[in-house]
Structure 1
Amino acid sequence: MPDTESKPVPARPASTVLLLRDGAEGLEVFMVVRHRQIEFASGALVFPGGRVDPGDRAIAEALPGLGPPEAGALRVAAVRETFEECGVLLARPRGAAELLDAARLARIEAEHRAALCRGERPFAEVLAAEDLLPATDRLVPFAHWITPVSRPKRFDTHFFLAAAPPDQAARHDGGESVESVWIRPAQALAETEAGLRKLVFATRMNLVRLARYASVQQAFAEAAAAPVVTVLPESVETPQGRMLRIPREAGYGGELFPALDPPAM
């Protein structure tokens, strides 16, 4: 008899960046609103990010000190996606210790960002033309989530913290994202509770974690000290309704959480 059991769709490697700054009322994170015609998380408030491209792996393989190529590709993808979706470029001139200054970034953005977002210019070409190296050392691993096996589109996503360079202005790309905001994590959660925002589960839970921190320094220190535990949400039925189970040791303050949205990434 034929095998009627379908295999799970493979999860594609992806990187997400939680770009942070210290605001007047506490820690703020940069978020974008996905275009409603985008297939994944349409209309949702999300952290910038996307899947790893083959070009990211090629860049990582050419850079020393990034470890295994796949791990390096995740970091390169995080830098690329931050530039594409935020206009913030975590890169430094070759041989320099500091990141790009605002004036040079403005010229680079004007010349390259739109073409990069349209897929007309590889990131490697941008880096080579400007003699830049991605500042992957500015990224701190924060979380690792894999889309549930039941979903038709799946991602294996690594979340990184990054401090926003003070002289670089973050703004959405106007294509995949139609709005952007610097927002306190607790405020984003409260606005979602009030029906003003839409969050997918992984974003909601990582905002819950971020809301514990009073500053960028505290967020970085605690993330550096905590092991990253892989989270693959599992849907379970309970007397209280459908819940999503995640590992307690992942650091989200529990194991079962209400499934207020589809269990996607």
Structure 2
Amino acid sequence: MTDAKPPVPARPAATVLLVRDGEAGIEVFMVVRHREIEFAGGALVFPGGRVEEDDKALGGADPMDGFRIAGIRETFEECGVLLARPRGSEALVDATRLLGIEALHRAAVAKGEVPLSAMLAAEGLEPAMDAMVHFAHWITPASRSKRFDTQFFLAAAPPDQVAVHDGHESEDSVWIRPLQACEEANQGKRRLVFATRKNLEKLARFATVAEALAASRQARVVAVMPEMVQTELGWRLTIPAEADYGGSVFEVLDAPAI
């Protein structure tokens, strides 16, 4: 008998729920991942990706700030929104200045040719880490061959910046009400993964961006690593009840990410 292989280490990652107030309630920016990407290919997801060494260094001593920086970088790379401000200013970069920054730096940062820290230094900017409100923490199950330890953040979309998918990692994008995304997945119009669905449902509790941000600043974030279990009703996914997703046992409605 051979010993079972240890689980693949989970890579640190960050994802951002970029939100705005729409006519019918809160809306979140989501991208459709390119179908040829191994992880969650073709799925409707929030912008995000793994934490790089430069993110950790720019974040400083607090490990959570490295995740925040990664979320800021990925939001800039994937949708052209930059959660940063000129040094000494309380206001985020305005749309006019962002056009020049994007033209000079977005592609190079996305390709890893220029670190975010160098771009910010060159433009006299500092990351708006205070705009990144901790929302959730999900870890890919130990049985999977590709795993992420992902911190989710909520951020209000700057009103004068335009979010647009990058055309590389993502092939489409949409501002959408959280429950609308879930309903369209139920109808077969979109593909979601379990973590995305549960965080959409959690976000749907709030009527406005201000309400969502205020509640999330006060909430306790509990780490979630889903487990598949056999029940009398069939296979179900379990998560900690204290993570506040409205229960601990859920029907499997979505295909695996990989």
TM-score, normalising length: structure 1 = 0.95
Q: Output the CA distance in 2 between the equivalents of 1:127 and 1:247.
A: 39
1:41 matched to 2:56? The reply is no
Contact map agreement 1:148 1:264 (CA 8 A) in 2: no
Count, aligned residues:
258
Correspondence for 1:17? 16
Correspondence for 1:135? 128
Does 255-264 or 88-97 show the bigger shift?
Answer: 255-264
Correspondence for 1:243? 236
Correspondence for 2:215? 222
Structure 1 stretches of 4+ moved >4 Å: 262-265
Q: Output the CA distance in 1 between the equivalents of 2:17 and 2:75.
A: 9
CA deviations 1:143-163 (Å, max 9, x no partner) are 000000000000000000000
Unaligned runs of at least 5 residues, structure 2: none
CA separation of 1:248 and 1:200: change in aligned 2, threshold 3 A? same
Offset, 1:263: 4.8
Correspondence for 2:49? 50
TM-score, normalising length: structure 2 = 0.97
Q: Which one-letter code corresponds to 1:89 in the other structure?
A: L
Q: Over the residues paired in the alignment, what is the CA RMSD in angstroms?
A: 1.2
Correspondence for 2:163? 170
Unaligned runs of at least 5 residues, structure 1: 62-66
Offset, 1:4: 2.7
Correspondence for 1:90? 83
CA deviations 1:189-215 (Å, max 9, x no partner) are 110010000000000000011111111
SS of the equivalent of 2:103 reads helix
Quick one: percent identity of the two aligned structures? Answer: 62
CA deviations 1:222-250 (Å, max 9, x no partner) are 11121001101011011211100001111
Offset, 1:260: 2.1
Correspondence for 1:64? none
SS of the equivalent of 1:156 reads strand
SS of the equivalent of 1:261 reads coil
CA separation of 1:263 and 1:234: change in aligned 2, threshold 3 A? farther
Q: Output the CA distance in 1 between the equivalents of 2:92 and 2:183.
A: 34
Q: Output the CA distance in 2 between the equivalents of 1:158 and 1:179.
A: 23
Contact map agreement 2:86 2:126 (CA 8 A) in 1: yes
Correspondence for 2:152? 159
Q: Output the CA distance in 2 between the equivalents of 1:99 and 1:210.
A: 24
Q: Which one-letter code corresponds to 2:12 in the other structure?
A: P
